[in-house]
């Protein structure tokens, strides 16, 4: 992108999540490959694209994270742990590049109806002998909004963070979680 277009103005870091599992069940053989995907790859691409953003005095880096970074989600230990690592890197980076017109933020969706959330629900359903619908209904009861969100309910937040009105917002985690995380 840098060679072909001279740089990138907006970088959205997004990737699939690792398989579900508890802390007690964690397969250590999964640590390194998922660390590479969730932590190392975003750092690598950010470092490659950041110099051009800084030189032009404009850039937006947005990581699509998870509420599990702030309030661990049961049965997603690997995701919770690795995404928290990315959060630490991006928070540090945000302070280092803010003076160059580059903002760095995280959008942390909660329970959003996606293939991933349905896969996680299926895993819990298999473990508990419940149906996927029962698992989703039970989880929905733990969310103040009483339901899963839809992708179009957090997409506009990402679009906002990419624009000029968000030029003074950096180093933030913005959640779209129906109130699931209990702290501010």
The Cα–Cα gap between 27 and 184 comes to: 33
pLDDT of residue 4: 80
Q: Kindly indicate whether the domain formed by 7-111+150-176 is annotated with CATH number 3.40.50.300.
A: no
Mean pLDDT, the chain, rounded, equals 93
Burial class from Cβ neighbours inside 10 Å (0-12, 13-18, 19+) for residue 171 reads middle
Q: What is the mean pLDDT of residues 31-45?
A: 97
Cα separation, 156 vs 159, whole angstroms = 5
- Distance (Å, rounded) from C-alpha 8 to C-alpha 134? 44
Classify residue 54 by burial, with Cβ atoms within 10 Å: 0-12, 13-18, 19+. middle
Q: Coil, helix or strand for 158?
A: helix
Bridge partner list, 108: 175
Q: How confident is the model at residue 7 (pLDDT cuts 50, 70, 90)?
A: confident
Tens of pLDDT, residue by residue over 60-78, are 999 999 999 899 988 889 9
Given this model, what pLDDT does residue 23 score?
A: 95
In this prediction, residue 81 has a pLDDT band, given cuts at 50, 70 and 90, of very high
The answer, as to whether pTM is greater than 0.85, is yes
- Residue 1 scores a pLDDT above 80: no
> What are the residue ranges spanned by the domains of the chain?
7-111+150-176
Could you report the per-residue pLDDT of 82-126, keeping only the tens digit for each?
Answer: 999 999 999 999 999 999 999 999 999 999 998 888 888 898 899
How many Å apart are CA 8 and CA 15, to the nearest integer?
19
pLDDT > 90? residue 162: yes
């Amino acid at each position: 992108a840098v060679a072909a277009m001279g740089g990138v103005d907006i970088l959205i870091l997004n990737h699939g999540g690792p398989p579900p599992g508890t802390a007690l069940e964690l397969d250590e053989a999964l640590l390194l490959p998922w660390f590479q995907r969730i932590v190392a790859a975003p750092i690598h691409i950010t470092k490659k694209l950041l110099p051009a953003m800084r030189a032009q005095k404009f850039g937006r880096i947005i990581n699509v994270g998870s509420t599990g970074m702030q309030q661990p989600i049961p049965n997603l230990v690997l995701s919770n742990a690795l995404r928290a690592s990315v959060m630490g890197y991006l928070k540090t980076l945000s302070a280092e590049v803010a003076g160059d017109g580059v903002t760095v933020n995280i959008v942390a969706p909660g329970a959003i109806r996606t293939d991933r959330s349905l896969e996680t629900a299926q895993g819990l359903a298999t473990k508990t002998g419940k149906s996927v619908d029962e698992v989703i209904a039970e989880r929905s009861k733990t969310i103040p909004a009483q339901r899963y969100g839809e992708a179009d309910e957090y997409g506009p937040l990402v679009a906002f963070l990419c624009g000029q009105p968000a030029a003074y917002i950096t180093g933030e985690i913005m959640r779209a979680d129906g109130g699931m995380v209990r702290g501010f």
